[in-house]
Amino acid sequence: MADLARSGEPTKISSMCTVFAESEVISLIGRGEPRENIARGVIESVVSRVATMAGQAAGAPYYLTGGLCENAFVVERLGELLGSPVTTSPQARFAGAIGAAIRAQALN
């Protein structure tokens, strides 16, 4: 998806709710919007929301975890919006699961 999105022009995806965003994407497909523009729009929507939330935190340095941490274009765009590099690693996608396992172990 990163290569596809990188070649597109961002299409506006306004809904942060996945159900409504999915409806927007389906409508865009129905109207014949190019796939690369839709992919770019989805990434821009997600990155914009994450940048807003991260901007409310203490600030740089930034680390990305979760399923999108392996998407180079997401990491690049997020860094651009934050004005600071974003660090990640392929193992960072498991951060939430590891934290939950450690917490569960501590509760036992």
For 24-67, write each residue's pLDDT tens digit: 999 999 999 999 999 999 899 889 988 988 877 767 889 999 98
Residue 2: per-residue pLDDT: 66
Burial group, residue 58, by CB count within 10 angstroms (0-12, 13-18, 19+): exposed
Over 90: is that where the pLDDT of 12 sits? no
pTM above 0.85, yes or no: no
The structural domains of the chain, ordered by start, are 2-107 (3.30.420.40)
- Three-state SS for 39-62 is HHHHHHHHHHHHHHHHHCCCCCCE
